[in-house]
Amino acid sequence: MQLPKTKFSGKNITLAHGAGGKAMRDLIDEIFVAGFDSPELTLLEDQARFELSDLNKLGNRLAMTTDCYVVDPLFFPGGDIGKLAVTGTVNDLAVGGATPLYLTCGMIIEEGFPIDDLQRIVASMKATADSCGVRIVTGDTKVVPRGAADKLFINTAGIGVIPETSNILANRAQAGDVVIINGYVGDHGAAIVDARGELALEISTVTDCQPLNGLISEMLKVCPDIHCMRDATRGGLATVLNEFASSSEVAIQLDNTKIPVREEVRGVCEILGLDPLYLANEGKLIAIVAKDDSEALLKVMQQHPAGENSCIIGYIEAPSQGTKGFPKGKVILKTGFGGSRMIDMLIGEQLPRIC
């Protein structure tokens, strides 16, 4: 990734860069406006403006999301906080069936932060936004004294448009539906553990941080009626499925032998006493669809780079009574030994500052 040329002077962020004067204007012009290179941002207005007629061509509903990113470290195998911020926001829009269009970017920067690192993160955000077909159109910058923040925090908001044909909701799972995931779970969590360097682990896992809007666009072409879909970030696969089970008032049965987990991720979990089902992901989606649609959908997903390892991992069951039944709103994991266990919501935090 080649960084854009800049005339910006200085090696580190100072409090003057957040004071509203010339130093701040230079930072905005030379690092953010030049780095993000979007026509809306170049105008330097207090808001970005769009033609409603352009949005109406894409759908009949506006989707909006926001998220904050405090990952530690800022740079990790396969990504950085900038790529993570754009990817995470784009994916939150896309899993609702929206076409992502515009992003905001708010940065809280600690005094003394290296300019080179900031420029590298901005370039990463720009490259990721370009790959998603979205633009960063407005933003804000705050500088805080040393010790008041840990290097850099980013807030992003995203806007997209949902087509009239899409109705993806957490409460639409039905008995007989199948559960599909687009690949290996736990890669991001394992990559962050490795990047922190606290445990001297010799693993080669990189984050799965990737935009999913391209994959989802192909999915919706072959299966417009996806019932439920979310990206499995903090709390992992287990948390998303518990949310679906609770909202839809159904039971979900998973097959542990079908859930794809890399051996190195499984090894990290065994060493640290973690469960890969709860590890964070940044490029994995869970989709629940009618069984009749699953074969065609799976084929399309496996033909896309972001879904080549897609597979069916479970089924939706009607809740029933009795010790051998399926309790309403619960997720049951069928083990490789023929038994089963309940998969609850994550309690507490397995790994802090994972995204």
For the chain, the average pLDDT equals 93
Q: How far apart are CA 128 and CA 134, in angstroms?
A: 9
Q: How far apart are CA 153 and CA 149, in angstroms?
A: 8
Q: Partners of 162 in the beta sheet?
A: 61
CATH number of 15-162: 3.30.1330.10
- 209: tokens are 């941080």
| Share of the chain residues as helix, strand and coil, in percent rounded to the nearest 5 | 35, 25, 45
Q: How far apart are CA 172 and CA 191, in angstroms?
A: 33
CATH topology of domain 178-343: Phosphoribosyl-aminoimidazole Synthetase; Chain A, domain 2 (3.90.650)
- Whether this prediction's pTM lies above 0.85 is answered by yes
Q: How far apart are CA 178 and CA 317, in angstroms?
A: 9
Instruction: Quick: pLDDT tens for 134-154.
Output: 999 999 999 999 999 999 999
The residue behind tokens 């910058």 is 141
Lowest mean pLDDT among 91-100, 214-223, 317-326, 337-346: 317-326
- Domains in the chain: boundaries: 15-162, 178-343
SS3 234: coil
Q: How far apart are CA 334 and CA 255, in angstroms?
A: 5
- 156: tokens are 């992003």
Instruction: Quick: pLDDT tens for 226-239.
Output: 999 999 999 999 99
Helix H or strand E encompassing 142: strand 135-144
- 84: tokens are 């993570």
Q: How far apart are CA 88 and CA 92, in angstroms?
A: 6
- Confidence at residue 284, expressed as pLDDT on a 0 to 100 scale: 98
Instruction: Quick: pLDDT tens for 179-213.
Output: 999 999 999 999 998 888 777 677 778 999 999 99
Instruction: Quick: pLDDT tens for 18-60.
Output: 999 999 999 999 999 999 999 999 999 999 999 999 999 999 9
